[in-house]
Structure 1
C-alpha cells in the first residue's frame, strides 16, 4: 500500500556481515529488515512477494563465489540483481565469559569465515575441531544457549559488541587483512537500473552440450564484442554428472549495444541463458570500451548494412517490372 515501508530480507541473524551490507543501502535503515535462516529462504521471501528485496553474499576475495547463492539464484522463479555492496571483512574469536584461549577445543562459524582464519587457528589453537554454522552471527549467538556443544565462535566484531554474554578472546584473526566480501541486493524483475558507465551484468549460461569448444563459443560472444569478464565460475546443475552452468559477471550494461549483442549471441547458442541484471559497480570503476565496440560503432555498422539491403531492395523493385529485351 502507498507509504508502506520497504521490507528487506537478509542472511541472518542480526549482526551478520550481510546485515552490514544491507545497511549501506540508502533506504535500508528506514525499512523493515527481516533476517532469514539461509540464502534460499531470503531469496524465496522475494519470490513469494512478502519482501521487496533480499541481501545475500555472492563472492569473497579469498574464497571466491558463495555457492549457496550462485545455485539458488540460477534456478526457480527469475530474480534480478539491482545493486552490489562491498564489505571489508574482519573477524574476532569469541567465547562465554571465563573461557580461556587454551580451553577452546571446538569452534563454530560459517564455512567461508573458517577458511579465512585457518592459518591463525593452526598457529594458535592447533587441532581445534570445526563445527559448521549457518552464519558467523548464528555461531556466536549459539554460545549463549544452555546446551551449546562448542567452546568458541568466529564472528564479526559487531556481534561481540552488541552481546554482553560474549567475551572476545582474540581480534583480527583473519589470514588476509584485505579480505572483502561482495553482496548483492536481489529483487523481482522490473525496470533496469540506469546505465552509469561503471556497470556490471550478471548472467547464468547452461552449457548446451559437453563437447570440445562449447565453452569457447560462450566466451567468444563476449570477446568478439569487446566485453570483459570479471568473474566466471562453473557450477553443476544437479541434473546429472557432467552437466554444468556458468555464472558470469561482465563489465558493462545491457543498455550498451555491445553487451546487448553479446546477450543475444548467448541466447542463440544456449536458449536457457538467464539474465540476472545490469547494475552499478560498487567500486565505481568505469568500464573502458574500445572504439570499435562503442555504441556509435555498432550504430554505424547497422546503418551500413541497412544501406546495402536498401539498395538491393530498390534494385530488385525497379527491375521487377522491366520487360526483357528481344
Structure 2
C-alpha cells in the first residue's frame, strides 16, 4: 500500500509552472526594479532580454508576458515601445506600474568625478540628467547603450577609470562600481510608467482602469481629429494621454495614441469606441487594465450613471413607437 500511494503521488499533477516574464536586461535595469516592485508578478520567472523589441516579440511568442517602459514623466513616451505595440505586435496591456526613478553616476574603483571623459547609458537616462552633465561634466563624450544596466556592466568590464555609467544603485552594487554622484536627475518628481503585456486576455474592470488605443484616420480632412475627440467629450470620458505618431507610410501621415480613464466593459467607453470605429477612424485596441497611481475616476463613474439614465429615458421614448 505505501508503494502504491507513493506512486500515485508521483503521478499527481503538481502546481502549474510559473509564468515567464520578459524584461529589458541585463540584471540591474530600472525595468527589473519596477518588475520586482509589482506584487501581481511575484512568483513569476523573469527572463532578461537585450532590447525592448525582443521583449515584446517574446511576449507574443515563447513567453507568457512582457514588461517594458512606455513613458517617462520627464522625457515623454518611449517611442520604441509605443511603435512596436502600435504597428508590429498584437499584444494587450494587462496592467501598468509606476516607478520613481533615481539616477546615479557609477564608475570603477579609483575613479573621480573630475577625471571622467566618457559617459555611457540608455539615451532616456542621459536626457534626464542634462543639467548635471552640462554643469559638472561638460567635456565628457556621451555614448548610448541598450539599457542602463548594460551601460553599467560594460563600464565595469572595461575598467577604465575615465568612463562612467548612469544607472541604478542596484546595478552599481551588482557590478562592483563606485557611486560618484547620487540622484543626478534634473527633476525630483521623475517617474517612469511600465506596462505588462500579453498575447491575449483583458483583465476584469476594477473601477479604476485605463484603456489604450491607436486611431488611424481614414481620410485627411479638416476637423477629423476634432470629430474623434468629440466622441470622448460627449460622454465625459477623460483622456489621460493624446499623442501623434507617424504611421511609417508617408510623410505627414499620423495616427493618434490615446489613453483614457475607463474600461471597455464600461457602457460609455464601449459606446464611444463603437462610434469611433463606425464613423471616424480605424481603431487598434491596446487593452483595458488596472490604472497605476492615485488618479481618481469619480467623474467617469458619474458620467456612466448619467449615460445609463439617458439610455433609460430614450428606451421610454422608443416604447411609444408603433409596432
Match of 1:84 among 73, 96, 100: 96
Question: Which residue of 1 is the match for residue 278 of structure 2?
Answer: 268
Q: Report the alpha carbon displacement of residue 269 of structure 1 after superposing the two structures with TM.
A: 3.4
Deviation of 1:211 after TM superposition, in Å, equals 2.3
What residue ranges of structure 2 are gaps of 5+ in the alignment?
1-12
Return the TM-score normalized by structure 2.
Answer: 0.90
Deviation string 1:238-262 (CA, Å, 9 cap, x unpaired) is 1110111111110111121111111
Query: Structure 1 residues 150 and 183 mapped into 2: Cα distance closer, same or farther (>3 Å)?
Result: farther
Q: Does 1:70 align with 2:79?
A: no
Q: Distance in 2 between matches of 1:291 and 1:233?
A: 25
Where does residue 9 of structure 2 map in the other structure? none
- 2:245 is the counterpart of 1:235: yes
Pick from 16, 31, 53 the counterpart of residue 18 of structure 1. Answer: 31
Tell me the distance in 2 between the aligned counterparts of 1:111 and 1:41: 18
Q: How does 1:308-319 map to 2 (within 5 A)?
A: 308-314=317-323
SS in 1 for 2:66: strand
Instruction: Give the 3 Å change call, closer, same or farther, for CA 30–196 of structure 1 in structure 2.
Output: closer
2:211 pairs, out of 165, 179, 201, with: 201
Measured in 1, the distance between the counterparts of 2:249 and 2:221 equals 17
Per the alignment, residue 226 of structure 1 pairs with: 236
Are positions 1:162 and 2:171 aligned together?
Answer: no
Instruction: State the SS of the aligned residue for 2:38.
Output: coil
Structure 1, unpaired ranges of 5+: 315-326
Partner of 1:297: 306
**CA deviation after TM superposition for structure 1 residue 86, in Å:** 0.6
State the shift of 1:95 in Å. 1.3
The residue that corresponds to 1:31 in the other structure is: 44
Change (3 A) 1:113 1:256: same
Over the residues paired in the alignment, what is the CA RMSD in angstroms?
2.1
Deviation digits for residues 110-144 of structure 1, max 9, x if unmatched?
11111110100111111322101111111111113
Aligned-partner Cα distance in 1 for 2:186–2:24: 24
Go from structure 1 to structure 2 and tell me whether the alpha carbon gap of 1:136 and 1:119 turns closer, same or farther (over 3 Å shift).
Answer: same
**Structure ID, larger Rg:** 1
Partner in structure 2 of residue 317 of structure 1: none
CA contact (8 A) 1:210 1:242 kept: no
Q: Does 1:211 align with 2:208?
A: no
- What is the CA distance between 1:189 and its match in structure 2? 2.0
Distance 2:158 2:236 in 1: 58
CA contact (8 A) 2:105 2:181 kept: yes
Which deviations, in whole Å up to 9, do the C-alpha atoms of 1:186-245 show, x marking residues without a partner?
11221x222222111111111322222111111111111100111111111111101111
How far off its partner does 1:292 sit? 6.9
Identify the residue that residue 256 of structure 1 maps to in structure 2: 266
In the alignment, is the contact (CA less than 8 A) between 2:103 and 2:167 conserved in 1?
Answer: yes
How does 1:126-137 map onto structure 2 within 5 Å?
Answer: 126-137=138-149
Distance 1:77 1:68, change over 3 A: closer
